[in-house]
Structure 1
Amino acid sequence: MRKIITFLTIVTLFVSCKEEVVNKPERLIEKDVMVDIMYDLSILEAIRNQNPASLDTFKINSRDYIFKKYKIDSVQFAKSNVYYASDYNEYKSMFEQIRKRLEANTKSVDSLVKLKKKKKNPIGDKKQKQAAISRDTTKLD
């Protein structure tokens, strides 16, 4: 009898875990679009943390901007976010996609910054080399 109760308890747990915790909203934002929205929100949040005046200068409210860009409303976003967050593995994979995109963009920005520095430095390096050569030649005289 004890084995049967244990077995039924385990089966019940497995069956109940398959059940959706949150019902699918009527106007669910597609997963790919939701990843894009969350990526854009991450970028705007980073801008706000690094240089708050930049968003204030242009009077950009990040949430309103995102809602207009993707033609969604706050309720639709909130319900979709709760729906995706109810499945931990799915939500984790979404954030993994966002992290990879952010890393890729960070690498490209870093390479552009290095390239810009290289373009500025050769002129300065040439002047420094010419000044060093002229100093060396005056020492020889």
Structure 2
Amino acid sequence: MKKLAFFFIAAFLWTGCNDNPVEKPKNLIPEDQMVDIIYDLSLLEAIRLSDPGAIREKKINPSTYVYEKYKVDSLQFAKSDHYYAGDINKYAKLYEKVEKRLEKRKETEDEAAKQFQKAPLIKEELKKESVITKKTKRNKKNASSFNAN
């Protein structure tokens, strides 16, 4: 009986939530722009957590910076975020897009870091090749002058 009562209460709450969706704000931020804003906020938050001095030195408020960049205010962002959160499927897709962009950015940064780490090794290899080339040229020159005599 308790399970049945719980089921009816849960069903009532669930249908109650769906019958009364969040009202669309007048100045709703388009979904693709919301993805951009959340992406930028996520990047700035990651920078703030990994290197707190970087943002502090530049005297940047991440939220203010992003709002100015996209010409939105905090209330417009909050209302738009609340609206998108009202449809859990749409909200999940929105955050999946952000996550994909962050993963792609991480892959790009990881590849750049690998290339940066390889640079000294490549430089060393080029030096070795240069030394070998010089020795080979010297040996050929010595051999040709020896043959000329």
Runs of 5+ consecutive residues of structure 1 not aligned to the other structure:
1-11, 131-141
Aligned partner of 1:4 in structure 2 is none
Aligned partner of 1:108 in structure 2 is 108
SS of match in other structure, 1:81:
helix
Q: CA deviation at 1:17?
A: 6.1
Q: Cα–Cα, structure 1 residues 43 and 13, in superposed 2: closer, same or farther, change >3 Å?
A: closer
Aligned partner of 2:141 in structure 1 is none
* Residues 23-102 of structure 1 mapped to structure 2, 5 A cutoff: 23-102=23-102
What's the TM-score, normalizing by structure 2?
Answer: 0.71
Aligned partner of 1:138 in structure 2 is none
| Counterpart residue identity of residue 107, structure 1 | E
Name the % identity. 43
User: Which structure has the greater CA radius of gyration?
Assistant: 2
Could you report, residue by residue, the CA deviation over 1:101-120 in whole angstroms, capped at 9, with x for unpaired residues? 01111111111111111112
Please report the RMSD computed on the Cα atoms of aligned residues, expressed in angstroms: 2.2
- TM superposition outliers: structure 1 runs of 4+ over 6 Å: 12-15, 126-130
Q: CA deviation at 1:20?
A: 4.5
Aligned partner of 2:147 in structure 1 is none
Q: Cα–Cα, structure 1 residues 68 and 13, in superposed 2: closer, same or farther, change >3 Å?
A: closer
Runs of 5+ consecutive residues of structure 2 not aligned to the other structure:
1-11, 132-149
Aligned partner of 1:117 in structure 2 is 117
| Counterpart residue identity of residue 46, structure 2 | A
Could you report, residue by residue, the CA deviation over 1:72-105 in whole angstroms, capped at 9, with x for unpaired residues? 1111011000000111100100110011101111
Could you report, residue by residue, the CA deviation over 1:46-86 in whole angstroms, capped at 9, with x for unpaired residues? 00000010000100000100110010111101100000011
| Counterpart residue identity of residue 52, structure 2 | P
What's the TM-score, normalizing by structure 1?
Answer: 0.75
Q: Cα–Cα, structure 1 residues 20 and 31, in superposed 2: closer, same or farther, change >3 Å?
A: farther
Q: CA deviation at 1:21?
A: 1.9
